[in-house]
Structure 1
Amino acid sequence: MAFKMSVQKYSGKISEVEIGRGEKAIKIGGESTLPFYSFDGDTGNTPKVGIEMLDVYPEGWTNEFKEMYKDVCDCPVKWAKYIEENLKPDFICLRLESSDPNGLDRSPEECAKVAKNVVESVKLPMVIAGCGNHEKDAKVFEKIAQAVDGNNCLFLSATEDNYKAVGAASTMAYNHKVVAESSVDINLAKQLNVLLNQLGVKPENIVMQVGCSAVGYGYEYVASTMDRIRLAAFGQNDKTLQMPIVTPVSFESWHVKESVASIEDEPQWGCAEQRGINMEVSTAASALVCGANAVILRHPKSVETIKELVSALA
């Protein structure tokens, strides 16, 4: 008897979100089946890989990065141009570390000026990330959204604490996209999407960030949450969960001991830089097969490796 392959058809479909402008603009989402399951249906747009940079000198990054970017990391515009011209990611994530109230505590106006200069210096799509202080991020995002109006940026992130201010500024007052960030819980992810919808943010302007951790650090919770979200979106046609997912892998993977411990402290572990790359690649690959439509990385080798993986599987 001839082999007949079983095909799993779903009624749900992930919305498509466009980020950026012009010929470099990217689209994420659009799939109607599980990641890389091209034998079951339409896998939508190819997953995208971005690279992280800061708006200040990367004092807290490992020495390998400081050496790598030594000629450009003192100027965000130079840094962004270097990334675009040499590293070839699909997008750039500008992280506004200087806005942290526990750090430099730069004003929203200062941050907006820097972000505007960076966004206008490159053609790649931009993801704008805050410092993680929800109250400060809301104020900063409001000023930046206005400053970079017309560039269709993605703002990372709107949370339960600040979604009204971030959602209104980024997608309603100005023509940008917003990330709904929840903490590894399908119900919290759904609730935040509903709240943004009720505020007036259209579903096609929302991307989800449902949580992230480095592999080996509770990643199984992230994986199970992403699986449940995608199965609900496809199998149950749950429209409140049919948004693309972005995972900021570098925010987590470069803080664990395996990535930051020096070879002097852990000689049996081998090269510290390679360990960090391995952690980042492992986490990014896991996120993509669980349903992430875009990942944010830090090391150029990680970007290169993940792009090769995506190209081979897509």
Structure 2
Amino acid sequence: MAYKKPVQKFTGKIREVTLGENLKLGGESVLPFYSFDGDTGHKPALGMEIWDVYPESWPATIVNELGDKARKPAEWAKYVEEKYSPDFICLRLVGANQDAGDKSPEECALVAKEVAEAVNLPLVIAGCDSNEKNGKIFTKVAEALPEKNIAFLSAVEGNYKEVGAAVGLAYGNIVVAESSVDLNLAKQLNILLMQLGVKPEKMLMNPGCSAVGYGFEYVVTTLDRIRLAALDQNDTTLQIPIIMPVSFETWKVKESVATEDDVPEWGNQEERGIAVEISTAVGVLAAGANAVILRHPRSLQVLREFINCLI
């Protein structure tokens, strides 16, 4: 009897969301990279992180390569676009933190507008460590850049009304719903934003991320459960593309920040950071992420090859 390969079919499908002018995320009706089962949707997108302040904690090779551009976000963004060609750029407004300059929402909006005018790539805007301040920052940035399909990372339980109303309703941009590695919390926040009036095609999800070795198996299983609920159970509230800020988590763990003087047996510090970033990104992409944010150019190169080998 001839072997007949089984095909797993689902009734649900992930919505398609357009970032910027034409970067489409989502659209899949099968598990990640399961092209043998059906339509895998749009290719996962790879973004690169830049800051609005000088990145003193970044690997020396990156900072040295950037030179003076590391102090000028618009020039930094243009350099990244031209040299590395990521799918999008993530501007992280670190300078709004109290210990990094305490920039006002108006100052943040000015920086974001300069970056947006300098590049052609889609933008993701990430805030500071204060969810309360992020609500005000995102309002001003969205006001300065209306109807640009910029994704704002993120709306959380404490500020979703302010962020959703300004970003998604008043100024027509994309709201990223961020929860804490729990399917029910992710579902609840999506529902709250939809009830507020934000359209699903103007939403992305960040269900919570960590670096490998730091509860990462729980991140992966949560992503698995979200995707299975969306596809197999046809849960429309979870049929939203997922974006994961991998670099935010991986470059702050001890494996990435411990110097070679502290732990010489661990080897080169930069190589360790790259390894953690790549491993984390591969894991979340295989579990259902539609986009990841990276910091190191070599991580971008490896992840691009990884995706191209599987699609």
Q: How far 1:102 sits from its partner (Å)?
A: 4.0
Q: Which runs of 4+ in 1 moved over 3 A?
A: none
> CA, structure 1 residues 150+201, in 2 after alignment: closer, same or farther (shift >3 Å)?
closer
SS in 1 for 2:86: coil
Residue from 297, 301, 307 that aligns with 1:300: 297
Q: Per-residue displacement from partner, 1:244-267 (whole Å, max 9, x unpaired)?
A: 000000000001111111222222
What's the CA shift for 1:101? 3.1
State the distance in 1 between where 2:104 and 2:177 align: 24
- The CA distance in 1 between the partners of 2:139 and 2:199, in whole Å, is 18
Aligned-residue CA RMSD (Å): 1.0
When normalised by structure 2's length, the TM-score is 0.98
Q: 2:257 aligns with which of 242, 260, 263?
A: 260
- TM superposition shift of 1:71: 3.1
Contact 1:16–1:30 (CA under 8 A) maintained in structure 2: yes
Specify every segment of 5 or more residues in structure 1 that has no aligned partner in the other structure, as ranges: none
Distance 1:272 1:15 in 2: 40
What one-letter code is carried by the residue in structure 2 that aligns with 1:4? K
Q: Secondary structure at the match of 2:17?
A: strand
Query: Is contact 1:277–1:301 with CA below 8 Å preserved after alignment?
Result: yes
User: Matched residue pairs, number?
Assistant: 311
Q: Give SS of 2:89's match.
A: strand
Structure 1 residue aligned with 2:188: 191
Partner of 2:7: 7
Structure 1: how far apart are the matches of 2:266 and 2:62? 19
Instruction: Work out the CA distance in 2 between the residues paired with 1:167 and 1:150.
Output: 14
**Post-superposition CA distance 1:114-169 (Å, at most 9, x none):** 10010111000000000131110000000000111232201000000000111111
How much does 1:70 deviate? 1.9
1:271 Cα shift?
A: 1.3
2:308 aligned with 1:311: yes
The one-character-per-residue Cα deviations of 1:197-247 (angstroms, maximum 9, x if unpaired) are 000001111100001111111101101100100000011000010000000
**2:244 counterpart of 1:247:** yes
Mean Cα displacement is larger for which, 298-307 or 255-264? Answer: 255-264
In structure 2, which of residues 121, 127, 139 is the aligned counterpart of residue 124 of structure 1? 121
Question: Which amino acid in structure 2 is aligned with residue 164 of structure 1?
Answer: K
TM-score for the superposition, normalised by structure 1: 0.97
User: How big is the shift at 1:175?
Assistant: 1.6
Identity among equivalent pairs (%): 59
Partner of 1:157: 154
